Structure 1
């Protein structure tokens, strides 16, 4: 009898709890029920101003879902990408940007979306941290930097007079230098582990793919020394000739590769730009 009463009491409590939860969910659902697209969008804008990214995202999604053909829906998708980026959700931000570019290829905001796409993956690698962790530089994936480069480059090519073009050009200059440095870091890693063919291939890629970068000096030196180690004197002399032509007073002759390291290397120019 007592077990029966206890079971009945538990059922009543569970029912009350479920009813309470249902009331909460219904209350949350009803908050924006009947709102217009403009009301939802303005609420999202208030959330953005308050840096309430989760709430902003919910209201922007509601605009898209309830009013898919409205002008606010297009703007909501633009803002959704921005909100994801600020909320440290780069993959979702990129997905939103790509969806926007596919849906509205000729939209007036396309230049901004390309600019934002570049910013999403603009995350400079930390040479300072990798030097202390001993991370193999060949395992560092520059994919994000290359994606950033492609987005900024497309922006400049398609919209050279865009209000975002000037900053994109500055970032491109940094990106080219950084990606080239990453390649030379890998080349040096291989060279110091006697993988001379791999070091030569990486160095050649820098010379071939990046024009006018400072990293070319180290790449040519690594190429020359790698050829020397392989006993390929003719190729080593060719590399030396190019090195002397472009860097007639190369510091590497006197200090070698290890002398190129300085304590200020930890301060990379990521601070050049304001996101």
Structure 2
């Protein structure tokens, strides 16, 4: 009887010893893994600091694939977003941002991700200008500018106390002007084709949505001329009153 109890005790001790050894081994492996990730992450940071952004991107992408749930996972993903932005990898940056926000909607750095999405869209819009000769291309596609405007507006609305909110507000002003110019370019297109009602509607749209931009003056002038051509004196006079009150030096006001 005693020998049976002793035998069971020895077996239990052996199993417990193996379990403890396994736990110890697992803990050691986790520690080694964390140390290795930290070392590789530091290497990527050094590459970034030295201006070798392509290498840093390769290093962080490799880390992100090997350790998608590692101790530096979120920071690696945010760093990759920044690198995609700096390297003008628009599609990759937007995909990474949307993935980060979708998987981490309550993360403390969601405001940064939103801010970066605005920057990425704004830069993409800027890169599409191709105005090396100083040509104003207000008629170009404005979809990226609209997307950037939406991103910055969402940031300011959801995170008004974010450290990025102030800069987002400044960028919203510039984007409003850009979008207003696009509307005026379309209005001018209609004017040249004698589609005066469509031109007047574009001018009114600028007044309603971009009233705090310099483009309002031209919008009012287009409305005055369009209503004049359409023989709508009351609407023409209403537009002229606003133009006269706010822009007394305008050519249409002084010519009257």
TM range (shorter): 0.7 to 0.9
**Structure 2: unaligned runs, 5 residues or longer:** 1-32
Residue 204 of structure 1: how far off its partner (Å) = 1.6
Q: 1:237 to 1:128 in 2, by over 3 A?
A: farther
**Structure 1: unaligned runs, 5 residues or longer:** 1-32, 256-275
State whether structure 2 residue 186 is matched by structure 1 residue 186. Answer: yes
Give the structure 2 partner of residue 22 of structure 1: none
- The question of whether the paired residues in 1 share the 8 Å contact of 2:155 and 2:165 is answered with yes
- The question of whether the paired residues in 2 share the 8 Å contact of 1:94 and 1:120 is answered with yes
Residue 99 of structure 1: how far off its partner (Å) = 0.8
The TM-score, its normalising length taken from structure 2, stands at: 0.76
Distance 1:145 1:94 in 2: 14
List aligned pairs for 1:63-142, cutoff 5 A: 63-123=63-123, 124=126, 132=135, 137-138=138-139, 140-142=140-142
Distance 2:180 2:133 in 1: 17
Give the structure 2 partner of residue 47 of structure 1: 47
Structure 1 stretches of 4+ moved >6 Å: none
Q: 1:127 to 1:196 in 2, by over 3 A?
A: farther
Q: 1:127 to 1:244 in 2, by over 3 A?
A: farther
Residue 97 of structure 1: how far off its partner (Å) = 0.8
- The question of whether the paired residues in 2 share the 8 Å contact of 1:63 and 1:72 is answered with no
- The question of whether the paired residues in 2 share the 8 Å contact of 1:203 and 1:220 is answered with yes
Distance 2:251 2:181 in 1: 17
Residue 34 of structure 1: how far off its partner (Å) = 11
1:200-250: CA deviation from partner (whole Å, max 9, x where unpaired): 121121112122222111101101101212223332223223323333443
Higher Cα Rg: structure 1 or 2?
A: 2
- The question of whether the paired residues in 1 share the 8 Å contact of 2:244 and 2:253 is answered with no
The TM-score, its normalising length taken from structure 1, stands at: 0.71
- The question of whether the paired residues in 1 share the 8 Å contact of 2:240 and 2:253 is answered with no
- The question of whether the paired residues in 1 share the 8 Å contact of 2:180 and 2:215 is answered with yes
1:113-158: CA deviation from partner (whole Å, max 9, x where unpaired): 111111112244759668758x6x54x1111111111111111112
Helix, strand or coil at the partner of 1:71: coil
Helix, strand or coil at the partner of 1:121: helix
Helix, strand or coil at the partner of 1:122: helix
Distance 2:57 2:132 in 1: 34
The size of the alignment, in residue pairs, is 221
Q: 1:37 to 1:75 in 2, by over 3 A?
A: same
1:14-68: CA deviation from partner (whole Å, max 9, x where unpaired): xxxxxxxxxxxxxxxxxxx998222222221122122222222222122221111
Give the structure 2 partner of residue 217 of structure 1: 217
RMSD: 2.8
Give the structure 2 partner of residue 144 of structure 1: 144
